[in-house]
Amino acid sequence: MCPGPGPATAHGKRADSPPRAAVFDVDGTLVDTNYLHAVSWWEALRQAGHHVAMSDIHHTIGMGSGRLLDRLLGDARDHDEDEAISTAHTVLYATWFDRLSPLPGAAELLRSLAARNWRVVLATSAQGSELTALRRAVDADDAISDATSADDVESTKPAPDPVCQALEQAGVAPERALFVGDTVWDVEAARRAGVGCIALLSGGIGEEELRAAGALAVYRDPAALLADLDDSPFGRIA
């Protein structure tokens, strides 16, 4: 559970009413990148002599690189290879930066929430350079209050650190926030932070898995959530 905020808002001013935070994962949630990551990790692992099934890689997307390699290769692996594998993934994935596509309704959803006085914060396991490319693809910086990446936290998802960092940036208590993600690691990180999670199917993970992990609601993509915004969990936090 994340600690609650102090009496001031994120900008150092007292608010007349408690603020609300809409915290968003980015890969697979706002930008259509999960399969690009899977292919890039597959090739990076292959170059290092590891042959891992693409389906196994896909189910680790959303974790930070260290946790991802722990799950795919096990703790008995040669950890000295980790940096080279992660660097290879970064280089391979960067070749897609100019072609990243936002998911339907991504920018519109962020702007709609900001217009309703939600503080929109991004919380991603991506590194800083990747986050820059992702924000450029979403093209909604006018609606985004702040962002936290893997560079800003000690532990990545499914640890709650990215979500807690986002709430600290927003100056919002967990019960006044919602997290939107697309993987079971997103749902778990939100749950461990004490924040309800809305899950999207746009990352390729099935509805049953997401609900089993604890998702409050599941939508096809940002556009579907936007269309149902008033009746979604966002509409239940006054």
Q: Summarize pLDDT for 76-128 with one digit per residue, the tens.
A: 899 999 999 999 999 999 999 999 999 999 999 999 999 999 999 999 988 88
Looking at residue 15, its pLDDT comes to 47
- Give the model's pLDDT for residue 54: 97
pLDDT grade, residue 130 (50/70/90)?
Answer: very high
Write down the pTM of the prediction: 0.93
* pLDDT score for 16: 60
* Residue-range domain boundaries for the chain: 20-32+101-236, 34-95
Instruction: Sheet with 20-24: list strands edge to edge.
Output: 144-148, 118-123, 20-24, 177-181, 196-200, 217-219
Q: What is the mean pLDDT of residues 48-64?
A: 96
CB 25 within 8 A of CB 217: no
Closest CA to 226 of 121, 108, 123, 131: 108
List all residues 6 or more positions away from 113 whose beta carbon is below 8 Å from its beta carbon: 22, 120, 143, 229, 234
Q: Which helix (H) or strand (E) holds 24?
A: strand 20-24
Weakest mean pLDDT among 4-18, 29-43, 185-199:
4-18
User: pLDDT at position 11, please?
Assistant: 43
Distance CA 186, CA 202 (A): 13
Q: CA-CA distance, 78 to 8, in Å (whole number)?
A: 47
Report the amino acid identity of residue 124: T
Specify the CATH number of the domain 34-95. 1.10.150
Over pLDDT 70: what percentage of the chain? 95
Note the CATH architecture for domain 20-32+101-236: 3-Layer(aba) Sandwich (3.40)
Coil, strand or helix: which one is 123?
strand
pLDDT band at 6 (very low <50, low <70, confident <90, very high): low
What's the residue count for the chain?
238
